[in-house]
Structure 1
């Protein structure tokens, strides 16, 4: 899904993080048992160190080149990202444009449900940086931290998603990542986020239902994305094609718990799932995309999320 070339990007909605240096300690917990790569544990999820009972790194520790939670305010950090044309040729600019689009949509949508949308910044970094929930790195993967109300993304994650997990590298595959993380921010606003920790593992668990709901909310955004406009009234995105949808579904499937477990440990263990199967992730993104209605994302009221 490509951006209109003349749409204007608002880089004030993002911050930059540190680079270089190893993390002071990996975030642990909330993952899939027996898997070494922590990216598998937390891909598209909430940093478990931020929730009651979770374990994370000490936010005050870390390797060289890290910054304090919140990221840099350097106005020149994203000087190359000015328009939709920039977003169409640069992964970092695409993330910024998607953040702009997602926030513009939810700013208009939530008041229809008598809820006010509060903006959440995205911190884009290289290597490692500090969140209020612990160390962020591309080994952890993108996550939303409810303690500082920010999303953390290392743009190199998209390459990892394609090369190691078999996802499509198409634009909507990347935009889906951003939309999913902002789905967690919407859950935070609506008071639903803590359900993940109340029942964190298993194919029908609260943890899985929270993740699938975030997928669905990402689909709701995708449904409306081609009508959402920037501050000057220019539509952010061009009309979706079937290839765009296929790209998003490819990304959703590639991070299904069953796909990851089969790839890394040669067997599937539903009792340890934290994010849902490939089929369920595709199903709930599609549900949100087809209806465009937040109310259809109630993953907690169904007996079976598959």
Structure 2
């Protein structure tokens, strides 16, 4: 009887013990969600045609073959963050800050070419024009190459800077482009070559193209789709005249500069007359 009781007890314990153990139940199947990747915005694809090679027989050969053509747009670092301005004081501070930044970006390159690294003086004026070492000049902004150079900015630009965050950047880089033209011998060639207003247009369109290139190289600029739209809208509003060019020319060079890998991609001096009307 005792042996039978023990056997029964062992059987009961053996039946109960599995129920005391935790049982792993199948859980829901976890399907990994696909990782979300947002492609960064990039400039619209454009198949830019290569520009002609410099022509040694051209009276513009010195401008066409300027050493700056092989230079990649330098990175502009530490520039003022582009923003609309509230008043004249903010505007002047932004202009001076952007000018210093552009000059700092080019200093090492100028040293490598053994060119002057002296920073041109910045002046401001009220009204449509101002006296300078180049005489009285009527323009929203202008550069004078006399001496070590100087640059003048008129308060007429203030209204644009109040509504477009890249206004100061575009204008200052443009005028600095004229300083580069003077340093690299382009201006000197322009002044003695025949061509009249077409040469003025070549100079202005190159400076505008360079401004676009330097804007893209500015790490303070978030050049996204909104910035691109703002830039092209500016090209559509920019003044057309015999010195600056027609709307198609302004659009062409002002957009081409955004894609420039070298400053030579803005070489208006080799372009056909139809491209610099």
TM surpasses 0.5: yes
Aligned twin of 2:204 = 211
CA shift in 2, pair 1:299/1:179, >3 Å:
same
Aligned twin of 2:275 = 305
Is the partner of 1:215 in helix, strand or coil?
helix
**CA radius of gyration, larger in:** 2
- The residue correspondences of 1:268-287 to structure 2 (distance < 5 A) are 273-287=242-256
Aligned twin of 1:71 = none
Is the partner of 2:275 in helix, strand or coil?
coil
Please identify which structure carries the higher helix content. 2
Q: Are 1:249 and 2:237 counterparts? A: no
Aligned twin of 1:268 = none
CA shift in 2, pair 1:211/1:86, >3 Å:
closer
- The residue correspondences of 1:123-162 to structure 2 (distance < 5 A) are 123-127=123-127, 129-135=130-136, 140-148=139-147, 149-159=149-159, 162=160
**Partners in 1 of 2:258 and 2:107 — Cα distance?**
18
Contact in 2 for aligned 1:253/1:277 (Cα 8 Å): no
1:84 Cα deviation from its structure 2 partner: 4.2
Contact in 2 for aligned 1:180/1:218 (Cα 8 Å): yes
1:82-106: CA deviation from partner (whole Å, max 9, x where unpaired): x947976422222122112211222
Moved more, 146-155 or 285-294: 285-294
1:132 Cα deviation from its structure 2 partner: 0.6
The alignment's TM-score, normalised by the length of structure 2, stands at 0.58
Is the partner of 1:171 in helix, strand or coil?
coil
Is the partner of 1:147 in helix, strand or coil?
coil
Contact in 1 for aligned 2:81/2:221 (Cα 8 Å): no
Q: Which runs of 5+ in 2 are unaligned?
A: 1-78
The alignment's TM-score, normalised by the length of structure 1, stands at 0.53
CA RMSD of aligned residues (A): 2.9
CA shift in 2, pair 1:207/1:179, >3 Å:
same
**Partners in 1 of 2:256 and 2:103 — Cα distance?**
20
CA shift in 2, pair 1:246/1:98, >3 Å:
farther
1:224 Cα deviation from its structure 2 partner: 1.1
Aligned twin of 1:193 = 187
Q: Which runs of 5+ in 1 are unaligned?
A: 1-82, 227-236, 261-272
